[in-house]
Amino acid sequence: MQNIYPLVLAGGSGTRLWPISRTQFPKQFQVLQGEYSLMQNTLLRVKDFVLNKPLVVCNEEHRFIVAEQLRQLDLLENNIILEPCSRNTAPAIALGAFKALEYNDEAVLLVLPADHVIKEKEVFQQTVQQALPVVGQGYLATFGIKPTAVETGYGYIKKGQALDQHSFTIEQFVEKPNFATASQYCAQEEYLWNSGIFMFKASVYLDELKKWAPEIYQRSYLAFQANKSDLDFIRVNAQVYLTCPDISVDYAVLEKTDRAVVLPMQVQWSDIGSWQALWEVSEKDAEGNVFVGQHLTLESKNNIILADDALVTTIGVEDLVIVQTRDAVFVAPKERSQEVKSLVDQLKTRCQQVTEKHRQVYRPWGSILSLDYGSRFKVKRITIYPQHKVATQSHYHRAEHWIITQGTAKVYLDDQEKIYTENESIYIPIGCKHSIANVGKMDLHLVEVQTGSYLGDDDVQRYEEEQYT
């Protein structure tokens, strides 16, 4: 698989799995099963199968989350393309295609949404291999999933004539049908769910994009030509990309070209579009319950219970979604869990922050977890990766107290430097220039206590960019 370049589409900020999924930390980055996030599982699905490191397209505000999750898999290598704004899949894939062609004129893109669950990895890999002959002939391959239930939340593909043993022409793309139509499709062999997984030569995709959606091609090309590397990120021209039409790859190219083909893929697949969908694809106990986190249940059946940092207990409940995070609790019948979108819409007008971000945020050097706050104080837990440094800064209205709980830190206070280790503390007065670096081989952990008359995040004067050391 020397010419295949996985292109993971990690944009989007869906709310259908709130309160776990939020604008600044959406579902593709969440650990919902096992030890890895949905995006990491997508990457692992091809890591031992494809020689080349992946390209990931993501939103600007998610860049540090993506970088850290790639780093954990040893896949971080200046391979994150940042979208200044969301412009749907056709432009995002174009950016990946331009980048892949810098590596290899014969580059083949395997386009993967970051938030899908696919149970049978070997079958997935085998089906991808089966697409190589038609992709080599210049076709644009998509992969269809045989419906296992009547589903109105997915698009459908009607397959046509066979091109070879595995590939079929596409007779029709169908947007999300109503229940009666979906029932008919489910009973007919030729209809498949549109998985949103594609494979084609980068050059062929760009040629077809230029033919069928020339404005997208031109805007994407100009935006990419002005790209700049920044740490492990590839930044395209924001002003140009902002003018790019917001169109999906299906509508821009695949529904118009005569080069599109579909390969049926016999796997258990889901885009985890609701709590009900997550329950369906998750391992269950003898009573049909799905658990993540601490729990104790008595006479409870067919529930999905996720606990972040608390013990969740139930007695005699059935078919519920119960989700606990550090700052919100969500309870609903499973069959109504898709209505969470309406709930989030109301929350945006009443308590917007709880729809946008969690109490933990990510930086290029590590992460910050908000633990507590009150009048004139805030408490945070800070993690700094090995050989990383926080930007030098000062504050006009607050002092800070640091307590090292793990690791070795080099602390800069005005013109002085000093090494601190576990159980030592540092006081940073108001107005003092300060920074901290992790000079050890393990993550550095510290507790930060802020005190002062104003504790807003905008009370900061930075003297350098946040950086690696």
- pLDDT by residue (tens digit) across 273-293? 889 999 998 999 999 999 999
Q: Is 47 exposed, middle or buried (0-12, 13-18, 19+ CB in 10 A)?
A: middle
Q: Which residues pair with 386 in a beta bridge?
A: none
Is 24 among the domain residues? yes
Residue 215 located in a structural domain: yes
CA-only gyration radius of the chain, Å: 24
3-state secondary structure (DSSP) of residue 390: coil
Q: Which domain range does residue 372 map to?
A: 360-462
Whether 241 and 299 map to the same domain: the answer is no
The domain boundary residue, chosen from 235, 270, 305? 270
Final residue before a domain boundary, out of 351, 376, 396:
351
Mean pLDDT by 10 residues, the chain (469 residues): 89 85 90 90 92 93 91 92 94 97 95 93 94 95 88 84 90 83 81 92 97 96 93 93 94 93 92 90 94 94 94 97 93 91 89 82 89 91 95 95 97 94 96 96 96 91 63
Q: Are residues 209 and 325 in the same domain?
A: no
253 and 121: one domain?
yes
Task: Give dist(CA 56, CA 43) in Å, integer.
Answer: 10
The two tokens of residue 456 are 């807003």
249 and 382 within one domain: no
Q: 425: Cβ–Cβ under 8 A, 6 or more apart, which residues?
A: 401, 402, 403, 404
| Res 302: pLDDT | 97
Query: Does residue 400 sit within a domain?
Result: yes
Q: Are residues 102 and 169 in the same domain?
A: yes
pLDDT at residue 453, as a whole number: 92
Tally of CB atoms within 10 A around 193: 24
Q: Give the helix/strand (H/E) hosting 389.
A: strand 388-389
Last residue of a domain, one of 351, 386, 409: 351
In this structure, is residue 275 part of a structural domain? no
The burial of 41, by beta-carbon neighbours within 10 Å (0-12 exposed, 13-18 middle, 19 or more buried), is given as buried
Q: Are residues 36 and 94 in the same domain?
A: yes
Cα separation, 211 vs 281, in Å, equals: 40
Residue 467, in any domain of the structure: no
Residue 410 placed within a domain: yes
Tell me if 143 sits within 8 A of 127, measured CB to CB.
yes
Q: Identify the three-state secondary structure at position 63.
A: helix
Do 334 and 365 share a domain, yes or no?
no
Residue type, 349: T
Tell whether 88 and 218 lie within a shared domain: yes
Q: Please check whether residues 364 and 335 belong to one and the same domain.
A: no
Long-range Cβ contacts of 340-346 (<8 Å, 24+ apart): 340/15, 340/16, 340/17, 340/18, 340/274, 340/275, 341/15, 341/16, 343/18, 344/15, 344/18
Q: What is the largest CA-CA distance in the chain?
A: 74
DSSP 332-377: EEGGGGGGHHHHHHHHHHH-THHHH--SEEEETTEEEEEEEEETTE
Q: Enumerate long-range contacts of 204-211, CB under 8 Å, 24 or more apart.
A: 204/138, 204/139, 204/140, 204/259, 205/93, 205/94, 205/97, 205/109, 205/140, 205/253, 206/94, 206/97, 206/98, 206/101, 208/140, 208/253, 208/257, 208/259, 209/90, 209/94, 209/252, 209/253, 211/257
- At 342, the amino acid letter reads S
Give the CATH number for residue 453.
2.60.120.10
125 located within any domain = yes
Residue 273: CB atoms within 10 Å? 17
Q: Do residues 452 and 329 share a domain?
A: no
Count of domains for the chain? 3
Token pair listed for 283: 């391992």
E strand residue ranges, 19-118: 55-59, 80-83, 108-113, 117-118
210 burial (CB, 10 Å; 0-12 / 13-18 / 19+) is: middle
CATH number of the structural domain spanning residue 262: 3.90.550.10
Q: Are residue 40 and residue 170 in the same domain, yes or no?
A: yes
Q: How far is CA 61 from CA 77, 80, 375, 453, in A?
A: 19, 12, 29, 29
Is residue 158 in some structural domain? yes
In the prediction, which pLDDT does 465 show?
Answer: 58
Residue 116, Cα to own-chain centre: how many angstroms? 10
Contact 139, 197 (CB under 8 A): no
Q: What is the pLDDT of residue 1?
A: 61
Say yes or no: 209 and 264 in one domain.
yes
**Torsion sign (Cα): 143, 146, 148, 150:** positive
Q: How far is CA 356 from CA 63, 383, 387, in A?
A: 16, 22, 30
Residue type, 174: V
